Structure 1
């Protein structure tokens, strides 16, 4: 099976193509879709084409050294899985599969509040606690329960997502009824019947639930109902004051996810957070926004050199990751590629994704005359604005 996967999948787009063949439309569209006209979604990809890499030759080269240490945490690769909700709907125990693969490649796994597998399950399966992406609920007691679960599992770092207090409209989800249907309807049954491999694997053990809120009647029963209720219950009054309260309640590392303006990055630094994620939520929130990659250098200057700068939104290639690191990012988070990979072939496919991107980064660096990511930073001026 592994050899067949390696022949059929040579890049992230191949994973996306195969995942769509396997998944019911409601879930494939949820992964792929963006807000309204999906202009920001498209700009995230076009943005990478506006930078060119400089090629240096006749230089001594060694095997590429790809390790990084954002915030003092040693990692073998400069990228890893960002938080993606409902991975366990695309492949049973999908969250565990991605987390196990991340552990093998010595990078963190960032678990979403909307994950099917919960903190305890993932920690037990991998032997280490994940990082946790926190959506603040409107009920402080629910938030306190999330933090308590993090402490009990040994979570060291929380990613507070701040760009979804107002939920945008994703028109693909509206058409499919994602987050509005709370049970399996005849139309969904027809979609499931057209994807027998997914249906057999997913339904043989009963339709999944979001483990973090399982058993709480206010969130409903089953992942479809819980998806809608989790979204409806998001705190729509997020402020810097609430960030400070969370900072007081949480003694571990705190990262703000969803900053894309330099003024907000400066404010985050002043508030003393450990880092930020430069993100436009993969083009799923503000339509007609700027490409995430186009903001890296400005955000780095505003943030300074102390806090960690993560970035996500639109990354598909090793060269994309190299550009972000050269412009000042410390680490790249990737969402959709890992969702597509686990949907395509489970844990083995996620391992294959890691290998593909590792190879792309290494080859890109060596063709630039570099042997390490440290050299990429030291050299400077190797990523240049480009216009055809």
Structure 2
């Protein structure tokens, strides 16, 4: 069966990914913090808004879906957000996503916890990705991260600030993710139940996180490195940290993990070029607010000039449209691209991008709009609050 028939939406990719991946990795992608209430709320709160339909409106043959974010043009108003260990879900998974994004002329944000590093991505695609920066407790390690970004031509980094305190994801605890640092009988059994995954990934040896390869303090192999990377996160991030990074980094600086209006306002004052409104996909604060519900007050606090990206819970083109109408500039999507690359590699990622693009075009046209610019000018006039 062709990709076009197998995969019609994000949920199709997710189901296929779960069938392909060992449980330890499928649960890592899927899981949220504690009761996973924030995870569910991220999806449920899109239903608070309906879209206004308009007909008999002159429209061009193709809606213009391009946006400009902090001076950079993107052909589409969404892109792959950072997800750790993509190269564990499909061999060279980070490269596959980066290449599909480059082909679609949209940005891709590479995680510090990526299997394929900046140099490998740039060599494979000819383009330096954006980079999600997790700060380590060791300043020397952080300096090496920034040096790698500068050496490979990274233009924009996303300082992630909502994981200084690591929450409990109960699925990961049960599976031993981040606590297993070597092959165990249980893990071997999981791998044996997924022969296609095992043959694809392990034929080149078990992967490592490229950015910390050669640093013995992080361990050997991605499983050990996953735990050590998390344990070594700087737990004392402050506004002084942001100020120092702003001084050390000459490119664009976005702060990722803000979900509070006062913090958003202060980010703009601290010299950030933009923020990512994010609750880490429901993986940190349980019983938190959804990001889509927070967009209007975050936009008001941030002001009109600073870039506002948003992630967490986005699955459909209509979700993206609602976010843009509420005041966001761009949507980052994490899990959908992890599922897609696991389900079918680069071709599946390209198909996911095409599906979302089609949803956006059709939905905008049915709303009587010809471009994302039209949508943003109309703002909340195109939304209808719904009681639930």
Q: TM over 0.5, yes or no?
A: yes
Give the equivalent residue in structure 2 for 1:96: 95
CA contact under 8 A between 2:37 and 2:286: conserved in structure 1? yes
Partner residue of 1:345? 344
Q: Structure 1 residue 360: deviation in Å?
A: 0.5
In structure 2, what is the Cα distance between the partners aligned to 1:71 and 1:263? Answer: 21
Q: Secondary structure at the match of 2:148?
A: helix
1:2-21 matches, cutoff 5 A: 4-21=2-19
Tell me which residue corresponds to 2:45: 47
In the alignment, which residue of structure 1 is the partner of 2:383?
A: 383
Corresponding residue of 1:236: 235
Shift of residue 82 of structure 1? 0.3
Distance in 1 (CA, whole Å) between partners of 2:171 and 2:31 is 6
Q: State the alpha-carbon separation in 2 of the partners of residues 248 and 271 from structure 1.
A: 11
TM-score, normalised on structure 2?
A: 0.99
Deviation larger for 375-384 or 71-80: 375-384
Are positions 1:171 and 2:165 aligned together? no
Residue 266 of structure 2 is aligned to residue 263 of structure 1:
no
Partner of 2:296: 297
Q: Secondary structure at the match of 1:344?
A: helix
Which secondary structure does the structure 2 equivalent of 1:49 belong to?
helix
Per-residue CA deviations over 1:51-81 (Å, capped at 9, x if unaligned) read 1111111110111110011111011000000
Counterpart of 1:37? Answer: 35
Q: 2:76, 2:377 → 1: CA distance?
A: 18
Q: Tell me the residue number matched to 2:210.
A: 211
1:332 counterpart = 2:331: yes
Query: Does residue 26 in structure 1 map to residue 34 in structure 2?
Result: no
- 3-state DSSP class of the match of 2:254? strand
2:66 aligns to what SS in structure 1? coil
Q: Distance in 1 between matches of 2:14 and 2:101?
A: 19
2:115 match: 116
The alignment partner of 2:70 has SS state of: helix
5+ long unaligned stretches in structure 2: none
What stretches of structure 1 of length at least 5 have no aligned partner? none
> 3-state SS of the aligned residue for 2:332?
strand
Q: Distance in 1 between matches of 2:271 and 2:144?
A: 24
The alignment partner of 2:206 has SS state of coil
Query: Aligned with 1:256: secondary structure?
Result: strand
| 1:257 counterpart SS class | strand
Q: Work out the number of aligned pairs and report it.
A: 386
1:69 counterpart SS class:
strand
Distance in 2, matches of 1:77 and 1:265, equals 25
Please identify runs of 4+ aligned residues in structure 1 that moved more than 2 A. none
Mapped to 1, the partners of 2:374 and 2:249 lie a distance apart of: 36
Q: Secondary structure at the match of 2:234?
A: coil
Q: Deviations over 1:186-208 (max 9, x none)?
A: 10000000000000011111000
User: Does the 8 Å contact 2:246/2:271 carry over to 1?
Assistant: no
Match of 2:59 in 1: 61
How far the C-alpha of 1:5 sits from its partner, in A, is 1.5
Post-superposition shift, 1:184? Answer: 1.3
**Which residue in the other structure is 1:355 paired with?**
354
Query: What is the aligned-residue RMSD (CA, Å)?
Result: 0.7
* CA distance in structure 2 between the aligned counterparts of 1:39 and 1:379, rounded to whole angstroms: 32
Local SS of the residue matching 1:258: strand
Q: Deviations over 1:292-314 (max 9, x none)?
A: 10001110111011111000000
1:384 Cα offset (Å)? 2.5
Which residue does 2:188 correspond to in 1? 189
CA shift, 1:212, in A, is 0.2
Deviation at 1:378, TM superposition (A): 1.6
- Please state how far the C-alpha of 1:379 moved relative to its aligned partner: 2.0
Question: Could you tell me how far apart the structure 1 residues matched to 2:12 and 2:197 are?
Answer: 18
Distance 1:184 1:170 in 2: 21
- Contact kept? 2:325, 2:378, Cα under 8 Å: no
With the length of structure 1 as denominator, give the TM-score of the two structures: 0.99
Alpha-carbon distance in 2 for matches of 1:151, 1:210: 19
2:372 & 2:250 partners in 1: Cα distance? 31
Helix, strand or coil for the counterpart of 1:74?
strand
Partners of 2:76 and 2:357 within 8 A in 1 = yes
Q: Distance between the aligned counterparts of 1:151 and 1:169, measured in 2?
A: 34
